[in-house]
Structure formats: C-alpha cells, structure tokens
Structure 1
Amino acid sequence: MDLSRPRCRHWRELVLLASLLACGIRQVYSQISIDPESLLGIKGFRTILVLQNVPQDVQEYSWHRGTNDTAENMIVSYTPPSETWQSGPMFSGRENVTRTGSLVIRRSALNDTGNYTARVDFGNRTEKATGCLSIQELENKPGIWANASSVVEYMDPVAAICYTNATNVNWYVEYTQVSSNDRMTISPDLKTLIIHRVSRYDKTLQCETESIPEFPRRSEPLSLSVDYGPDNVQLRTSHSILNGILSAEIGSQVHMECKATSRPSPKYHWTHNGSLLSLSGAKIILPSLAWEQMGRYRCIVENPMTQLAMYREFQIQVPQSCCEQRLLHLRSQSGQRLSLRNPDLYVDQPSLHQ
C-alpha cells in the first residue's frame, strides 16, 4: 500500500481545490493530466505525482517546479527507453521519474508544497499538465489519561481523556473499537470515555485521531490493573468425590487442592468440621489418613482486594465395608453382640467423625 496516496477521493478533491485556490494556479487542460488524488502528500512519506493519459510514443518526460516548463525550473527529466535521467536546477536529490512518467518525491517535506508542471515531448508536439501539490503534516500521537489505574471489577468506574485538537476521535478497549452502550459512555466531543462498570476484559484503553483521513494516529496503550474474583473455584483431590463424599481407606494418602480465578492471587483457608486449620495454601496433604481426620472439609478462597470469598466443601469417609469391619472389631473387644444390620442399636458405639 502506498502511504502517500490515500483513497478518500471526495476529501482529497476538496483539499486539491483549496490548494489550487491558495496557489492561484489554474490546471492546464490537455490530453495528459496529473491525477488529482496524487496532489496530496504526507510529510516524511513518499509522494508520487501520477501522470495520466500518456500515449506510448513519448520521447522525453520532464518535471518542473512552478507553472512554467523552463530550463531553470526543471527538476528532473527522463528519456525512455534509454533509462537516462537528467537533473535540473530544482533537483533536491529526492526526486525521480518513473518509466510511465510519474514524479516520485522521497521523504516529502513541507516546503515541497507548490506547483508542479509535467512536460511530455512526443517529437512532433509537446503537452503539459500543471497541478498544485499540498504536503500535510501528521499530528503527534494523542495523549491519554485516566482517573484511576487500579480498580475492582464491577465496582469501580473509570474516566479516560484523550488529549488532542482533532475533532474525529475513536476509542478502543482491548484493541477493539467501542461506542456508547449500557456499560460505557463517550462524551459528545468524543474526547472522554467513561466505563461505568469496569470488567477484567477492560485492561487496555486507547484513543485514535484522524486529522487526515486514512492516516489515523493512535495513542500509546493505557493499562488498567483490574482486580477480580475469586470465581470458578475448583476442587482437586487424589480420590474421586461423588455427591460430596470422598471415600478413602484408613492409612491412605489423601491430596486436596483448591483452584480459583482471581487477581491478585487469593488467600486460602481450610476448616475441618467447622474448626479453622492452621494449614495455609491451596494444597493439603494427609500422609496417612486417620480416623480423627474423617469429616467435613471446607476450602475458603478469599480475595482481600475485592473483599469477596467463595468456598467448596466435601466429606471424607471410609468405604462402607471398612466402616462395618471397624465396628465389628471394636465391639468384639468389648464382648458385645453385634448386629451389622443395625449397629445404631448400641448406645456405646464410638463416633466415626471427630
């Protein structure tokens, strides 16, 4: 894509008309012509003044500064097909002529603005075309500022301001263009964006200006630190859990781990039968499961920044067959007669959960 040739025809024709009036120059109408869309360039970019309607029998192309094709005004000439170029008094070292007769100006400067005349020599006749080139300067990148850099999801609002003199401003959140909706508002002058309920997906804000169509200038990304969660709390164990029950043999090793989505990283607390354990961290390991370690476990996940907490809980029990064997062993030691069909008949039955 040639950055020196935007395609917005209507806008470029308006600029061309204004340039012609400002330069006080009339277009010389002939068979050949200069493409109006090429009469606008951008400072620092390559500009190509495109010559149109040129027949095949050309003996020489020459370009001149101003409205006259005199020798003292010549920039550069080209004689096809010998590929011979000749520079003139107005040559700056940045110009060249293509094989189709167009004038190339590298690294366009503001003082390149002005009138240019193309002369085409066919041997038995000469044709000319004149146009007024306007070199525009891109404005600097707009600045961006926000009233907060650290926020809590769905609780804190953010107002961002775009510092620019441009009247055409676009806003981007996470590199996607946004407009006013039920969650955010753009001011009538387009220079302020208010996000009423910031989400974790609003981490990057940018504003973009377009003082010259098809040459947008976007601000540096503004990063927000959004605290969120905990949510999506998951429980992983070394044994399968069915209906909230983890079945494990006495003496077996039991691993328990909590996972949650949160920013910043959450704090983890564990309780056993309602009592807070001194253990901390997302993981708990019971190297050799004992009877007193049976019961209800709860993993509590807390985010101190959002002041939110969630938990997951489950019950550790021995398998039913193991439970019956344990009752049989205890009561045989006390000399009692057992009924495995209804062990609750014995009031002195030991508790399985401590």
Structure 2
Amino acid sequence: MDLSRPRCRLWRELVLLASLLAWGTRQASGQIYISPESLLGFKGFRTVIVLENATEDALEFSWHRGANDTEDNMIVSYKPPSNFWQTGPMYRGRENVTTLGNLMIRRSALSDTGNYTVRVDTGNGTQTATGWLEIQDVEGKPDIWANATSLVEDVDSVAAICYTNATTVKWYVDFTLVSSSDRMTISPDLKTLVIHRVSRYDRTLYCEIDSILEIPQNSKIISLTVAYGPDNVRLSTSPITSKGVLSAKIGSQVMMECDAISKPSPTYQWIHNGSLLSFSEASVTLQSLTWDQMGKYRCIVANPVTQLTLYREFQIQLSRDTTPVVNRGFYISGAKVVWLIVFTVLGSVYFCGILIYALISHFSTRQPRLPSICLRT
C-alpha cells in the first residue's frame, strides 16, 4: 500500500496535528501519552506502540484493548521491579510489554486495528493514555508473465508484464537493473518490458516494486532459453594443417576435429571429395591413411534451432618428401632412387671406358701382314 495516497496521507497528518496540539500540555503536566508515529502497523510485521513521558520509577504497565482500562479488556501487564508479566482476557499470544512499558505485537493482523489503552501505576497514582492503532495491508509480491521463454538470438523478441498496483516498478535482466534503450522498451506505466532482438546474455528477468515499508518486493524469476550459434567454428588436425593443406604419409594416422560455440549443441557432418561420410561426430580419426582417403575434406556445423550452418575445409595430400615407386608391392623412396641413378650412370661410364680402352689396346698391338710374292726360278 502506498503511503503517498490521499487517504493515508490525510490520516497521518490529522493524527500528527492532534498529537502536536496536545504535546505541549502533556509535557507541562507530565502526562503520559502514546507516540502517534507508532500507531501505524503493517500486516505480518511487528508493531510496537510506544509509550512516552512515563516515569522511570513506574511500578506497573498495563495494556488494554479498547478505550478504557478495565480488567475484562486487559491484554498484558508488566511490573518492572519483579519482572512479572501477567496476561489478561484479551491476550492472543502475540503481545508483550517491554521494559520501557511499550506494547509489542508480533505478526500484526488487520484485526489488530482499534483502540489501545495503557495504564501506568507510579505508586503515587495512575495515569492512562489511549491511541488508535491502524494495521494496513502491505503490497504483496508482484506477479509476472512473459509471452515466450524459448527464443533465438537476434531474431526473437520477448514481452513481459508486471502485475501490481504499485506505481514504481523496476526491471532486472540477468540480475542487472535496466532502462529503456535501443534494445529494450519499458512502457510509460513501467509495468511492461519488451526486449527487442534478445541476446544470449538475457538469461533471466523479473520485476521489483517498493512496498510501503520501503522493502523491495520481487516477482518470481523467469528463465529465458536463448538459442545461438554456431560461432567461432575451429578446425584442428594432426598432423597440423598449413594453409589449408594437411601433408601425411600413406599408412599414417590422421586426426581431425571441429569445435564451435553453440546452444543447443550443434550437429556435425563430414564430406570427402563431395561425398557425405557416415561420420556424425565432432572428431574423426583415420587410423591408417590410404590413397582413397586423400583429397578435400569439409566439416559442416549446424544448429537445428537457429538454422545457421558454418563449415571449415582442408585437403589431405601426400608428403612432398615421399615419392612412391611401385614394384611388386613395395616402393623406393626418392633419395634411394637418386642414388641408384647416380650409381647406374657411373657404372655405365666406367664400363664404356674399359671397353674403349680394350679396343684401342687391341688394335694398336696388332702386327701388319706383308703381301706374299711368288718368284719363279
């Protein structure tokens, strides 16, 4: 309930005016009285009716329900020297008298509204004072409603309504006080909040009001589920990919993995040379690389809620330092081929040199034949 409303403000002003008019007379005569400021209580809270101008040597404080101090309407009495409390017919189990003579009512109820009379025995006589106590209901926790709780980031909007009679309403998003901005709009009566293009950080929302006791009252917290992503798709491989190329040897192990920021968790697909593979996990391992597994690979990451899809791709090719030579099921590395060619050429040159040398030696050592001359005798 708002104290600023005309009825409450007028009531308090009248009580205060009456108490001020009588204050001077009471002070001059030493008459006890009840503090006007203590004659307003709130349902469910403790109320203390304060007794003013009581003497320190009082022998007994007796509180009564109503405008007189009869025994039939006594609530409770207290005798300071003996610390003796006595309850009366109007005692309801929630009242007590303090050592200063004040009446304390726990868990005040609306039915506690009415006149209360205190009687003080000073030994030289008695004094009485009467005051009207009003117990008011406190504005309860506000209710809240939202048109949606499952949303897509940067696509959907959410509208929330705070159901309350309070005139001051505050809105909290992700436990942070918010106001109207380019992304949020709060209605002129402060009871409606619209978040345009929700963000992944808009996880909760609730409204808050200031009650008559200046104690904040919060609504229940609404949790928002905002889908987003995939973002920041990363591709990691072993061996490491350089400029989109993974170099590996035949028979070696190749590992590849995709990772992305997404809610809910994304789905994965792998494509090899344009053909969809059966792998549907984020991580794939080729235990022994074959010729058929060479070529281009693409990892596709998709969010089924946001309907966004991203991909990363790379190519597996044979290591440059490996030259395959197929010969009955085995191959010779490039370095060995080079040495084999060098030895073959050198051997051929050496063999040709020996052959030429032998031919030259043979023809140079051969004796010429003289022609036969026949003489007749």
Question: For residue 160 of structure 1, what is the aligned residue in structure 2?
Answer: 160
Cα contact 1:16–1:36 (8 A) shared by 2: no
Secondary structure of the residue aligned to 1:18 is helix
Q: Is the radius of gyration larger for structure 1 or structure 2?
A: 2
Gaps of at least 5 residues in structure 2 are 340-377
* CA–CA distance in structure 1, aligned partners of residues 158 and 105 of structure 2: 46
CA 1:86–1:316: 2 relative to 1, 3 Å: same
Question: For residue 93 of structure 1, what is the aligned residue in structure 2?
Answer: 93
Shift of residue 192 of structure 1?
1.1
Shift of residue 22 of structure 1?
8.4
Question: For residue 45 of structure 2, what is the aligned residue in structure 1?
Answer: 45
* CA–CA distance in structure 1, aligned partners of residues 138 and 169 of structure 2: 15
The one-letter amino acid of 2:82's match is S
Cα contact 2:19–2:36 (8 A) shared by 1: no
Give the structure-2-normalised TM-score: 0.72
CA 1:19–1:43: 2 relative to 1, 3 Å: same
Taking only aligned residues, the RMSD between alpha carbons, in angstroms, comes to: 3.8
1:193 has 2:193 as partner:
yes
Gaps of at least 5 residues in structure 1 are 1-7, 341-354
Shift of residue 78 of structure 1?
0.6
Cα contact 2:51–2:101 (8 A) shared by 1: yes
The one-letter amino acid of 1:18's match is W
The one-letter amino acid of 2:145's match is W
Question: For residue 111 of structure 1, what is the aligned residue in structure 2?
Answer: 111
Question: For residue 134 of structure 1, what is the aligned residue in structure 2?
Answer: 134
Question: For residue 325 of structure 1, what is the aligned residue in structure 2?
Answer: 322
CA 1:221–1:123: 2 relative to 1, 3 Å: same
CA 1:109–1:295: 2 relative to 1, 3 Å: same
Give the structure-1-normalised TM-score: 0.76
* CA–CA distance in structure 1, aligned partners of residues 14 and 56 of structure 2: 33
Question: For residue 349 of structure 2, what is the aligned residue in structure 1?
Answer: none
What does residue range 23-42 of structure 1 map to in structure 2 within 5 Å?
29=23, 30=26, 34=34, 36-42=36-42
Question: For residue 288 of structure 1, what is the aligned residue in structure 2?
Answer: 288
Question: For residue 343 of structure 2, what is the aligned residue in structure 1?
Answer: none
Shift of residue 285 of structure 1?
1.8
How high is the sequence identity, in percent, across the aligned residues? 61
Question: For residue 174 of structure 2, what is the aligned residue in structure 1?
Answer: 174
CA 1:24–1:91: 2 relative to 1, 3 Å: farther
Question: For residue 343 of structure 1, what is the aligned residue in structure 2?
Answer: none
* CA–CA distance in structure 1, aligned partners of residues 189 and 338 of structure 2: 85
After TM superposition, the runs of 4+ consecutive aligned structure 1 residues lying more than 6 A away are 22-25, 328-335, 337-340
Map Cα deviations across residues 37-72 of structure 1 (whole Å, 9 max, x no partner): 543322233322344565543322222334444444
The one-letter amino acid of 1:116's match is Y
CA 1:245–1:117: 2 relative to 1, 3 Å: farther
* CA–CA distance in structure 1, aligned partners of residues 300 and 231 of structure 2: 11
Secondary structure of the residue aligned to 2:321 is helix
* CA–CA distance in structure 2, aligned partners of residues 93 and 24 of structure 1: 34
Question: For residue 224 of structure 2, what is the aligned residue in structure 1?
Answer: 224
Secondary structure of the residue aligned to 1:111 is helix
Question: For residue 18 of structure 1, what is the aligned residue in structure 2?
Answer: 11
Map Cα deviations across residues 253-275 of structure 1 (whole Å, 9 max, x no partner): 33322222222222212223454
